[in-house]
Structure 1
Amino acid sequence: MDGTRPRVLLGVAGGIAAYKACELLRRLTESGHSVRVLPTASALQFVGAATFEALSGLPVHTGVFADVPAVPHVKLGQEADLVVVAPATADLMSRAAHGRADDLLTAALLTARCPVLFVPAMHTEMWEHPATRDNVSLLRRRGAVVMEPASGRLTGRDTGPGRLPEPAEIAEFARLLLERSDALPRDLAGRRVVVSAGGTREALDPVRYLGNRSSGRQGYALARVAAQRGASVTLVAAHTADLGDPAAVDVVRASSARELREAVLAAAKGADAVVMAAAVADFRPTAFAANKIKKGSADPEPLTLTRNPDILVELTGTREPGQVIVGFAAETGDDTGDVLHHGRAKLARKGADLLVVNAVGDGRAFEVPDNAGWLLGADGSEVELPSGSKGLLASRVWDAVAARLRTG
């Protein structure tokens, strides 16, 4: 891969969701990727070649006889660092699965030796048809990544699984495939996992609350990656930034620490793994003011706090046989020890199988797209998690969880 400009082929098949490929293209190019768009002829019925050329700055062709001296039907795939097909229709995946090479996109797919990501979009009946399921299974067995589609509004009045995930989610997943040096496995198929995300809010009055800076991005990345590795995922979401629900994930909303506790404990019953990435408030006001506390001229009364329940400790104390429990710790060093010292102590107190330790402050961990830290194991293992996308950190956490589930 070119160290400064990863080369991405963006295949676009002929479905109504082709219009979303324009937003995906914009996100990929603005992230510093060199993107060549390979539409099918039918895709150009939805979005014209001029649009793709203007957004990518590169020519757009559909047939294998364009620019013959450059042999694009071979070279484009050979030189690519990543191929993303979005939307991937049932027809396109069928042709890819059976080795067809009747246009520039399918020919490039045959010559590509880089990660290939198919992002399906079609009506529910087409997605669930045995022919499509067989083609998806075949593509996955050959090493391609086929995202699980979102569920929602389709063409006309139809709703259900088969909706194209949002471009932001596809772009995040594309970045993950570029960051990982190996293919993303489907090693969580048949597993049920629970992830918590975001920051809880503890109400002071109808207007004010005690909260924290968590955006929820790390928890959402954990849920997204688990779903695309085949797991059945429940995401218990507290307050987050403006994040769209991850595709193929069941989302349960919570506000306060006590609400989050109830939702997580209910979802954890029978789950294979629980990952507590939410930033749960340690304390809450002892009393809630039914009316807004007025500013007045006098100093306010001191705020009295009481402890919230420790959800992670409760989970580890009631865990089911074979269940893997992962905690997160946002730490700073102090006079008594550094970040890792406090992380090791917290792992021992909490009783989790794994603990992700993040150093916070100075623009780290909170409200940023990247993350880094350490993954500590109850078995004494310590793995550094180098800086990268939150999707990459999520994938490394699931690597460790999957390994424990296999041997548990």
Structure 2
Amino acid sequence: MSRTEELIQRRTAAVATGVATRGIYAAKAENAELWDVDGNRFIDFAAGIAVNNTGHRHPKLLAAVAEQAEAFTHTCFHVAPFEGYVKLAERLNAATPGDFTKKTMLVTTGAEAVENAVKMARAHTGRSGVIAFSGAFHGRTLMGMALCGKVAPYKKAFGAMPPEVYHAAFPNAYHGVTSEMSLAQLEQLFKTTIDADRVAAIIIEPVQGEGGFNIAPPEFLKALREICDTHGIVLIADEVQAGMARTGKLFAMEHSGVAADLVTMAKGLAGGFPLSAVTGRAEIVDAAPAGGIGGTYAGNPLAVAAANAVLEVIEDEGLCARADEIGTRIKGRLSAIAERQGMEAIGDVRGLGAMIAFELVSDRASRAPDAALTQALVKEAEARGLIILPCGTRGNVIRLLPPLTTPMEQVDEALDILEAALEAAVASAARAA
């Protein structure tokens, strides 16, 4: 029995079934490479789901965390605050879009950031309604689930959701949902379901994560900004997956020129250490009463040290430009593969920066999803040494999230593996048919 097989058995016996896992048990990792307990090497195009934007074990992050560990590892910011937290807040206030006075709070997970952003919006407006979008993912907590626009697996079997959470259609050009259609549905919500004067916040991912890497058109985000301004609604940008240089900008909202009132971030913020943040208009962030937001582990000193180092690495190593360079290489290769005879399964290639996805279909004319081929491709790529992730409300999208520090020769190696894996998965599907 291999070490992997042994660990799979132990995991099955000891770990909750609802915690979904893959069959790769990590032993070590370095930048864009990962080795499992049996010595197999993988190129990591998942990056811990957009967490390791600066790669596994970046030397500057490790040094910053080691230095902080020599001083202290936990005080609870509520009990004994420290300078690193204040410094990170100052940097995020300056870095997020918007020419207005901002403040920041730090927590631990993306879901916590979203929950606290909603609390701030409700406290500021005195309203309770929240609008999200189809295909959205905002976390697995109770409010996060309610905001999600995807039932399985995030809402399935968990009963009633919190009230006064509503959804409008997210624009999706590939499937014929225009910005105008989405805005019309939003206005219909105001007429038939909830008065705009009862809406505290509209929350949106500028590039959807779990929903399929769908990009919100700039004109749509500009229209949302106008609607929020007209009705006194707080606009929340969920940058948990798209932020921290992933799309070629520090924040994905920068592509549209629109500034949200509140920005939530996590994942790539601390390069693998658990940290999240809400940054936004000072008057909104300050609406919560003292003690109403925060947490025991919120703003952990080690994670804060890592986040300060991440911001330095992004700037010093030009990772926004690097994201564009990597993304251009990937999109070009995928588009070339899609034009080949026999590769009609690739229905769409899309993305910003190094946040790239392609949609697999059984028929390009009808654009019918091919979820089975998607799962087969993930498995085949893994067998050949490449870690990739599926996503999308129909389970037929492959998302590629390489570390922004990935050497270009490894990007090309990964794309060679991906192409060979897709050829094998398509051929296997054809034989089965």
The alignment's TM-score, normalised by the length of structure 1, stands at 0.27
Kindly indicate which of the two structures has a greater share of residues assigned to helix: 2
Q: Which has the larger radius of gyration?
A: 1
Larger RCO, structure (CA 8 Å, separation 6 or more):
2
